[in-house]
Structure 1
Amino acid sequence: MTRKIFLTLLMVCLLAAGALSAQNAAEKILPLDGWINPDGSAVELNWFDAKPPRVGGVTVKRRLYGQIGGETWQVISPPLGPAMRFTDETIEPGVAYEYQVLRSARDIVDVGYWVTGVKLPAQAQRGNIYVVVDETIAEEIAPRLRRFERDLTGDGWKVHRHLAPRGNSRKPTENLKKVLSIKTWLHERYLEDPFGQHAVVLVGHIPMIKSGRANPDGHEQVAHASDLFYADMDGRWAVTRKGVLLDNRVPGDFIETQIGRIDFSNVSAGKRDAEIHLLRAYFDKNHHWRMGLFGDLREAYGKIGHLTVEAFGLRNVVGPNAVAEGGHHDVGEQKPWLWGVDFGDWNGYIYAEQYANKAVFAINFGSGKQKIGSPFNPMTALLAQPWYTIAVGWGARPAWWLHHMALGGTIGDVHMRTVNNGVADKPYRETMDYYPTGGYLWRNPVWVNLLGDPSTRAFMLAPATGLSARETDQGVRLSWAAPADPDVIGYRLYRAAPGSMDFTALNEGALVENLTFLHETSERSGRYMVRAYGLKRVHAGSFYTLSQGAFAETGADPEQGTALTLATPSDQAVALPKAFSQVTDGKIHAVIEGPLTGQLSHDGTDWLYTPPAGFAGTVPLRFTVSDALQTVEGVLTITVGG
């Protein structure tokens, strides 16, 4: 499809779409738990926590994980009465399965979902990812962007970068032209591999477009910002000549790419320096999560009520006993969590001042929060908090299906399956992958946006460190240090031409179990990558996975860990070394997590450590030093008083 024809289809002026109204959901969510035999011979599902525990008849359906469409669910159980468990002995290892359990009686219908499998194969290649960057901020975050693209390459993505103009919603016609230009570029890239996997990362204030008139939060009907427009590759959106989109649902019912937005323009109060700082800090914590520096988190918290579907989905991800009752602003601040689901504070202005939430992934429900372009939007404010949160969704209307992260899936997949749930103009039960969609029936609505990097996932495997590539008479000798991760069982090795990030496997068929490898080659210069390989055992089963890549150039010395010291009198704040505020010699210094004693804050120029009143002693701060290829960990020890 040529650019001219594509734009013509998009700019067709159609009749206004009707306001999208809510319809009460007939079904309730069923709390499931599951156990799979380590040899993959059987899986047991139970719903002991259901209320009431025994009622009506039970139907169990199954499909291969990854299948989509309501018709793919197949009944596997005989007629069951008011049972409380079901065992499936027709499974096998190396295959992922998805289950649906539905209970029905005269006055109750509830349904739950569970994904499971053991020894699932690792996914070495993940597809194409498009990093669309606001051209007005690209230079100031350039070192972080290069490191981010290195991380994506080391996770199996083929990276494509595109510079785009900054959005301006006050000029809708001009803004729409910018949107269409970006959409055209994405569409052309998509057509190069229409059957592959795709993801889009919007970095900075990429033009935001609104569509439809709806009130999913129960307030006035308004148009909603929708990044789904960029992710829909074949729908024909109704738009007026004034640049107003009219659809309340995604045309054609589906988006074709994962998509997420990393944009802090609306929580920076118009201050460019503040926006740049938040972008840099986001890519630092994103990098630290990918490198396994938060640890292997296995706990979550949540509150039911509006978010019952999401809270019950966490049971599949971490197990029912690892889901704490609580919210963002109580238990969420106590320690690092893999997931947090809550109706958080409505006031985005005070998140950075009063809260320090520690959930890596989060749902932040509440009235108005779905309006992601509004000033100090609370979802964006949660994403902007230091150290931890890397992805946020609104949830509840419709509900997000979090169980897709139980076996190492991405948050972008959770988002995409939530958007693509059902076909709007066909019978409800026949086409839905999942129901209920919360308290109301929503199918393919335009306001379901993801804030953050869609390619991030749970249960990261720590990478190798200290990779070096030395020329010898026989070829290139690689050596590295093992990560402190008990799940690592070997390594896979890759090579690229000098200066390239297009890697090919050296040992695709067999693992290297040692910490050295001789690449017998006459091509002595080049880039090498090592990825740790291991088996993650989680509540849903187990899966083989690969770490982020560790990189090295031939002949270059590996980076070494660093120990720094700093001293300050009691009751006096001290600025961290300048290297933590500005890139020096191509090196990024980034604190991994805040101090256990005292407070670390950013004054717009420098990072400042403030000790508690009357405190004397030492405070360690873990940090990383990284460039476009390598990352090492260090410790800054601050001595207070004495």
Structure 2
Amino acid sequence: MSRFLTSLLSIFFTATLFAQTPQDAVVPMQLSAGLNPPAVFLSWTNPQPSDIILRRRVKGAAGDTWVELVNATETQLNGYFDSGLDGNETYEYAVERKTGNVMAYGYAFANFFKPVVDNRGKILVFIDSTTADLLGADLVVFKNDLRGEGWHTMPFKTGPFTTVQWVKNQITNAYNADPTNVKAVLLMGNVPIPYSGSMDWDTQSDHIGAWPCDAYYGDVNGTWTDNAVNIPNTARLANRNVPGDGKFDQNTLPSAIEIPVGRLDFRRLSAATFGLPPVELLRRYLFKNHLWRTGQYKVPNRALVDDHLGWSGGEAFAADGYRNAIPLTGEWNVATGEFLNSDRYLLGYGAGTNGTYSSAGGIGTAANFATDSVRTVFANLYGDYFGDWDFETNPLMPALLASKGSVLSVSWAGRPHWMQHGLASGETIGYCLKETQNAQFNTAYGVSNGESGAHIALLGDPTLRAKIVAPASNLTVVSNCDKVNLHWTASPDPEVVAYLIYRSFSLDGPYMRVTPDLLFQTSWEDLSPVADTLFYSVRAVKLEVTPGG
């Protein structure tokens, strides 16, 4: 008995001394850039001798084009000076640290006065006709906001008999007609939901089968089959997957995703619980979206992590929250606390216990989200069951997206871990979705369970960015013989330094920049108008500095 107790105590204290936390799976990386000549100094934490691999690639380079800068074993190296860079490029860095058996990763972007993006491309917007008719004015505002950021909207209406394949065909045709410019897809309202696979991604034995798979819409040239998986008996009918039923076989994406797909779908949310029917919840979302895009809703540059799952055998789900937040907010601005609170955060992560389709233990329930105002903008959750977001009654993730506060995107992040560090460099959440989905083709990203899984999804608008510039307002345009005079009210953002003018022959664009240089005043004369109806857009410009972007 005595020896047994001694042994037990020894095991207990050993576990306490060396217990791992999700932060142990994260390498906090900080960057500082020099301009003349272009160079980047990177620093990271490395508290004890570890194996370090540091890689770099040019953002947007084709293929898996990482350059290995450091590969050192049993080193306490905690920094690197990277010189000989091109000041016109944006670079992505990935650091991998192995300490014993513990793997940790960190990611960041670096650029040198990244130029203004004039044209963000085309977004294909699918919306069911009933919802479109009821949201007419709200959709006009949404379209105007997109146009103001350089997006060109291509609308498609669906009906009660629209099929998954019809939607896919429209996307494929639009992409093939203009592969350079088709950059995103948004599904609004009752747009058909593809299903795929035979997995229980949350390892719950009664949750095996097909899960929702919007990634199918974003894969233009992959091969998807429906002849192999045969799971006729499932706890939830929607997960049933048998040959020829229209649900696909694939668990892992068969090829790289070309187009990120986001969804706004509140059809499963009960009006009795939320106090509003789905169309009104969508109207509320569009209003939140407008407030964010126009700089009227402000949040401090900080993030929140609420973790109830800990190390979890090395999966360290909440590492996702820390790893994505640090490049955006800095390590010092990542707080721990209750997910449901009254404070505002740019990025939030919650890992909950004992999950159900409508709840995550320690995080919240669909009923909570129906009444509470969650004030996180970009939200990520992990837990059992609710990653299957099309559950019949009050699914948790759509409930969070529909909440009263400021939530504009929701993802099931942990299996796999998401790659959202692009938000720090001005990229969209859709860009981050695509990088996450294509992680299997990227050797520098740490492998996690569910990597490039068919279940990876974004609930929310894929064009959203974390760094917003409040626009100018009250633009007036007066034609005067052979010139056009423009006047506008300055952006309320005190950090705006200048303006650019764009012109189009159509309200919907495309808009071309007509001022090659920055304007530091709130008026301008177009001395080269053409004999046609012209449309003008004024965009505010500011310099944004982030810890990892």
Q: TM-score range by the shorter chain?
A: 0.7 to 0.9
Which amino acid is 2:115 matched to? P
SS of structure 2 residue aligned to 1:381: helix
- Counterpart in 2 of 1:495? 503
* 1:180 equivalenced with 2:170 (yes/no): no
In structure 2, give the amino acid aligned to 1:193: D
Once residues 353 and 422 of structure 1 are traced to their aligned partners in structure 2, the CA distance between those partners, rounded to angstroms, is 36
Map of 1:216 onto structure 2: 201
What is the CA–CA distance in structure 1 between the aligned matches of 2:69 and 2:107, rounded to whole Å?
14
Give the SS at the match of 1:37: strand
C-alpha displacement at 1:158, in angstroms? 1.8
Where does residue 17 of structure 1 map in the other structure? Answer: none
From 33, 39, 43, the counterpart of 1:42: 39
Deviation, 1:67, is: 3.4
Sort the Cα spacing of 1:343 and 1:59 in 2 relative to 1 into closer, same or farther, 3 A: closer
1:158 aligns with 2:152: yes
Partner of 1:416: 434
Taking structure 2 as the reference length, the TM-score comes to 0.83
> What is the distance in 2 between the residues matched to 1:314 and 1:454?
18
2:518 maps to which of 502, 506, 511: 511
SS at match of 2:430: helix
The equivalences for 1:197-596 within 5 A come to 197-220=182-205, 221-239=208-226, 240-252=243-255, 254-269=256-271, 274-295=277-298, 297-303=300-306, 305=310, 306-329=317-340, 333-343=341-351, 345-346=359-360, 348-374=365-391, 375-423=393-441, 431-437=442-448, 440=449, 442-497=450-505, 500-505=507-512, 507-520=514-527, 521=529, 523=531, 525-541=533-549
CA RMSD of aligned residues (A): 2.4
Deviation per residue, 1:567-602 (Å, 9 max, x gap): xxxxxxxxxxxxxxxxxxxxxxxxxxxxxxxxxxxx
Distance in 2 (CA, whole Å) between partners of 1:313 and 1:140 is 37
Structure 1 residue 392 displacement after superposition: 0.6
8 Å CA contact retained: 1:383, 1:452: yes
Contact kept, 8 Å, 2:31 with 2:42, in 1: the verdict is: yes
Query: Once the two structures are superposed, what CA deviation does each residue of 1:593-615 show, in whole Å capped at 9, x if it has no partner?
Result: xxxxxxxxxxxxxxxxxxxxxxx
Cα deviation for residue 261 of structure 1 reads: 0.3
Answering whether residue 112 of structure 2 is matched by residue 118 of structure 1, we say: yes
Is contact 1:303-1:311 (8 Å) kept?
A: no
What corresponds to 1:74 in structure 2?
67
Superposition deviation, residue 246 in structure 1: 1.7
Identity %: 28
Post-superposition offset of 1:372: 1.1
Kept after mapping to 1: 8 A contact 2:326/2:548: no
- 2:113 alignment partner, SS class: strand
Aligned residue for 2:379, secondary structure, equals strand
Single out whichever of 188-197 and 314-323 deviates more from structure 2: 188-197
Amino acid in structure 1 at the alignment position of 2:415: R
Q: How far 1:68 moved relative to its partner?
A: 5.9
CA distance in 2, matches of 1:87, 1:457: 29
Give, in whole Å, the separation in 2 of the partners of 1:102 and 1:89.
Answer: 20
Deviation at 1:366, TM superposition (A): 1.3
Give the 3-state SS of the residue equivalent to 2:404 in structure 1.
coil
- Paired with 1:189 and 1:203, the residues of 2 have a C-alpha distance of 18
Shift of 1:382: 0.7
**Structure 1 residues 411 and 146: CA distance shift in structure 2, 3 A:** same
Q: 1:78 to 1:341 in 2, by over 3 A?
A: closer
Aligned to 1:485, what secondary structure does the other structure show?
Answer: coil
* Pick aligned residue for 2:175 from 156, 175, 190: 190
| Structure 2 residue 59 is matched with structure 1 residue 65 | yes
Q: Is the 8 A contact 2:264 2:459 kept in 1?
A: yes
For 1:201 and 1:133, locate their aligned partners in 2 and report how far apart those are by CA, in whole Å.
8
The CA deviation at 1:182 is: 1.0
Work out the CA distance in 1 between the residues paired with 2:60 and 2:44. Answer: 24
Name the TM-score, length of structure 1 as normaliser.
Answer: 0.71
- Structure 1 residues 357-409: Cα deviation after superposition (integer angstroms, max 9, x where no partner): 10111002111111111121111111011141111101000000121111111
SS in 2 for 1:530: strand
**How far did residue 148 of structure 1 move?**
1.2
CA distance in 2, matches of 1:75, 1:506: 38
Higher helix share: 2
Q: Deviations over 1:227-268 (max 9, x none)?
A: 11111111121123332322112222x211011000111113
Asked whether the equivalents of residues 131 and 200 of structure 1 are also in contact (C-alpha less than 8 Å), the reply is yes
Say if 2:118 and 2:513, in contact at 8 Å, map to a contact too.
Answer: no
TM-aligned CA deviation for residue 504 of structure 1: 3.5
Aligned runs of 1:599-610 on 2, under 5 Å? none
Structure 2 CA distance for aligned equivalents of residues 251 and 86 of structure 1: 37
Judge which range, 387-396 or 298-307, deviates more. Answer: 298-307
CA distance in 2, matches of 1:244, 1:522: 53
- The verdict on how the C-alpha distance between 1:522 and 1:408 changes in structure 2, with shifts beyond 3 A counting, is closer
CA distance in 2, matches of 1:336, 1:28: 26
- Provide closer, same or farther for how the CA distance between residues 411 and 504 of structure 1 changes in structure 2, counting only shifts above 3 A: closer
Unmatched 5+ stretches in structure 2? 1-22, 227-242, 311-316, 353-358
**Contact 1:165–1:207 (Cα < 8 Å) also in 2:** no
Aligned-partner Cα distance in 2 for 1:495–1:91: 34
- Aligned pair partner of 1:33 in 16, 29, 36: 29
**1:36-73 Cα deviation digits (max 9, x unpaired):** 1353743333332x5xx12233222211123365x422
Distance apart, 1:348 and its partner CA: 3.9
1: CA distance between counterparts of 2:369 and 2:100?
A: 49
- Gap change, CA 1:303 and 1:90, over 3 Å in 2: farther
Residue 246 of structure 2 aligns to a residue in which SS?
coil
SS in 2 for 1:213: coil
Query: What is the CA-CA distance between 1:117 and the residue it aligns to?
Result: 2.0
Structure 1 unaligned spans of 5+: 1-26, 167-173, 424-430, 542-642
1:91-126 Cα distance to aligned partner (Å, 9 max, x none) = 353422111222335544433222222311121111
Corresponding residue for residue 19 of structure 2: none
Residue identity matched to 1:61:
R
How far off is 1:222 after superposition?
Answer: 2.3
Count of aligned positions: 487
Q: Give the whole-Å Cα distance in 1 for the aligned partners of 2:405 and 2:294.
A: 14
Q: Secondary structure at the match of 1:137?
A: helix
Counterpart position of 1:129: 123
How far apart, CA to CA, are the structure 2 residues paired with 1:185 and 1:340?
A: 34
Cα deviation, residue 269, structure 1: 4.6
Distance in 1 (alpha carbons) for counterparts of 2:479 and 2:270: 49
Q: How far is the alpha carbon of 1:433 from its aligned partner?
A: 4.1
